Structure 1
Amino acid sequence: MPDILISPNALHHALQQPGLVVLDASVELAAAQFDGDYRVASGHAAWLAEHIPTARHADLTRELADTAASYSFALPSPTEAAAALARLGIAEARHIVVYDRHEGFWAARLWWMLRSLGVAASVLDGGLKAWRQANLPLARGEQAQPGVAGSPVSLTVHPGYWANREDVLAVLDGQAPGTLVCALSKGLFEGSAVTRYARRGHIPGSLNRPARQLFDEQGRYLAPDALARALGPALVEGTQPLVLYCGGGISAAATALALTRLGRQGVSIYDGSLQEWAADPALPMTTGATPA
């Protein structure tokens, strides 16, 4: 099993090694200008303009998503995932590295998806920003993408990585053990900030652990001791299962990665998150702060 995180220099050194597959998981998600302002686009155009040499674009908006779902970025079926990953050429991969051009959340989402399907991968710590800061080379255009064999991919679905609306309701109603954790910012959690989603606020009883607080000023994950302080003992040392959510199951993936680095077990991500939950007026939401 490779380490979860890899540095830019280590990745650059590995680029010439056989069996390395680099995946750019970038997605363009515009900042909300008003409540319900949800604008998302594939990161393929930005990948064409600039990417790490040999990197292949992994499309989390379509090819690696269930586009028939009522919310964006829905987990694809194992069959759909296997077909998309085969096109990306991971069957022959000895080591997979995922990155994105933004805050690292998209890379964490793909990493968690791969992990849930029995595929080991690493995440480039700091993403494309850190790669640029290290003055490492960049490539452009389709011609920079290596040929993809498209061999069949064998996946093993591991339970416990994903939660659905019924799982969240069971925790909320006390029918199942668990702690709900919202990875959105304090403003979005409390309902004081403009939201992309149908309603402001959070699922009642949730703890708030903004995922952005898990990174340093350069966009790299904090050291383990600092991560543990940012997440708090209730998450790191507790024994209750953790159900993480955010707006679309993306920021929550960065929190899942951080918890995994600390050895925390029993972590799942609510795939639909607030994009699904807030759209149903029958499901409870609340605003304001909750105890830490």
Structure 2
Amino acid sequence: MNDILISVERLRQCLAEPGLLILDASVELPAPAFDGDYRVASGLPAWRQGHIPGARHADLLHELADPEAPFSFALPGSERLGAALGRLGVGEARRIVIYDRHDGFWAARLWWTLRSLGIPARVLDGGLKAWRGVGLAVHEGDEPAASPGSPLQASPRPGYWVDSGQVEAIVAGQAPGQLVCTLSAGLFEGSAVTRYARRGHIPGSHNRPSRSLLDDQARYLPRAVLGKRLGDELLRGEEPLVLYCGGGISAAAVALGLTLLGREKVSIYDGSLQEWASIAELPMTTGAAPA
């Protein structure tokens, strides 16, 4: 799994290589000031203020999402997804590198989306912060218009995404699976302000905060440390892991960490708490995870 992450130095060396496609997947999602304070904005303005030279903006909020879904960032249908990826040039790329300007969660989400389609890509370890941190130049303003690419055949393979019905079956004991909430301990326990309709987590969930897998430079921890943070219970278990967070974003960072360690049978609940917490009939609970 050494081909998932790419270092700043390696990306710098291959900037001029033909067929390289760099995608900035940033989205702006401010911390909530009160329960239900959900504010989200495109990362396009910030991309124009500074991005890795040649990088295109991948719009996870609009272009790469289902506008009819009741929650943000929902995986779109195959036709919409294939058309959006085609416009970005994914079909013509020989190598794809994804980054964002925050903690790498948005990059991981796009990486997981491409992975579910069988499209290999790499995530820049540390993202734009790491790029700027070593003094490398960024480009301001727009990039030259890309040649329109052909739409892709974009049908996600089974086993990468689950819906609320599948999560309900796990909660009810009618289907195998371990639920893993990747939000912070405060959000999991219900002690912190939440963007979503209710505090807490889906009953029976483990808690593995996504930020616990990163160092203070937003780079993934060494493999041995990752293994300890994730724990044998998740890494060695036979049951499928179903990851969720607020909107299926930070869950992708944990999915990437698990993949680095060779864990298979991992999927993401796309609607996550933005969907689950909004449906009053679906159970939620508060309190710390079992020791």
- TM-score norm. by structure 1 comes to 0.97
Q: Paired residues, what number?
A: 291
Partner amino acid, structure 1, of 2:51: H
For 1:14, the equivalent position in structure 2 comes to 14
SS at match of 2:281: coil
5 Å-filtered alignment, 1:128-147, equals 128-142=128-142, 144-145=143-144, 147=146
| Residues 24 and 145 (structure 1), Cα distance of their counterparts in 2 relative to 1, 3 Å cut | farther
Indicate if the aligned counterparts of 1:21 and 1:95 stay in contact, CA closer than 8 A.
Answer: yes
For 1:174, the equivalent position in structure 2 comes to 173
Gaps of 5+ in 2: none
CA displacement at 1:145 relative to structure 2: 4.1
For 1:245, the equivalent position in structure 2 comes to 244
SS at match of 1:109: helix
CA displacement at 1:119 relative to structure 2: 0.9
| Residues 128 and 145 (structure 1), Cα distance of their counterparts in 2 relative to 1, 3 Å cut | farther
The structure 1 segments of at least 4 consecutive aligned residues displaced by more than 2 Å after TM superposition are 144-149, 151-157
CA deviation profile, 1:171-230 (whole Å, cap 9, x unmatched):
101111100000000000000000000000000010000000000111100111110000
For 2:288, the equivalent position in structure 1 comes to 289
> Using the alignment, how far apart are the partners of 2:255 and 2:114 within structure 1?
13
CA deviation profile, 1:14-38 (whole Å, cap 9, x unmatched):
1100010000000000110000000
> Using the alignment, how far apart are the partners of 1:240 and 1:184 within structure 2?
21
Gaps of 5+ in 1: none
CA displacement at 1:160 relative to structure 2: 0.4
- TM-score norm. by structure 2 comes to 0.98
Indicate if the aligned counterparts of 2:83 and 2:150 stay in contact, CA closer than 8 A.
Answer: no
CA displacement at 1:146 relative to structure 2: 5.4
Partner amino acid, structure 2, of 1:271: D
Partner amino acid, structure 2, of 1:196: R
5 Å-filtered alignment, 1:73-152, equals 73-142=73-142, 144-145=143-144, 147-152=146-151
CA deviation profile, 1:54-104 (whole Å, cap 9, x unmatched):
000000000000011000000011111110011101111010000000000
For 1:274, the equivalent position in structure 2 comes to 273
For 1:26, the equivalent position in structure 2 comes to 26
Indicate if the aligned counterparts of 2:78 and 2:153 stay in contact, CA closer than 8 A.
Answer: no
| Residues 2 and 88 (structure 1), Cα distance of their counterparts in 2 relative to 1, 3 Å cut | farther
Partner amino acid, structure 1, of 2:153: S
CA displacement at 1:134 relative to structure 2: 1.5
> Using the alignment, how far apart are the partners of 1:166 and 1:232 within structure 2?
27
5 Å-filtered alignment, 1:249-260, equals 249-260=248-259
> Using the alignment, how far apart are the partners of 2:48 and 2:285 within structure 1?
42
SS at match of 1:283: coil
Indicate if the aligned counterparts of 1:118 and 1:156 stay in contact, CA closer than 8 A.
Answer: no
CA deviation profile, 1:134-192 (whole Å, cap 9, x unmatched):
211110111x3452332232335310000100110111011111000000000000000
Partner amino acid, structure 2, of 1:13: Q
> Using the alignment, how far apart are the partners of 1:170 and 1:232 within structure 2?
25
> Using the alignment, how far apart are the partners of 1:148 and 1:230 within structure 2?
43
| Residues 83 and 197 (structure 1), Cα distance of their counterparts in 2 relative to 1, 3 Å cut | same
CA displacement at 1:237 relative to structure 2: 1.1
SS at match of 1:281: coil
CA deviation profile, 1:110-133 (whole Å, cap 9, x unmatched):
000010011110000000000001
CA displacement at 1:268 relative to structure 2: 0.3
Identity %: 65
> Using the alignment, how far apart are the partners of 1:156 and 1:188 within structure 2?
33
For 1:190, the equivalent position in structure 2 comes to 189
CA deviation profile, 1:227-284 (whole Å, cap 9, x unmatched):
0000011111111100000000001000000000000000000000000000011000
Please provide the CA RMSD for this pair. 1.2
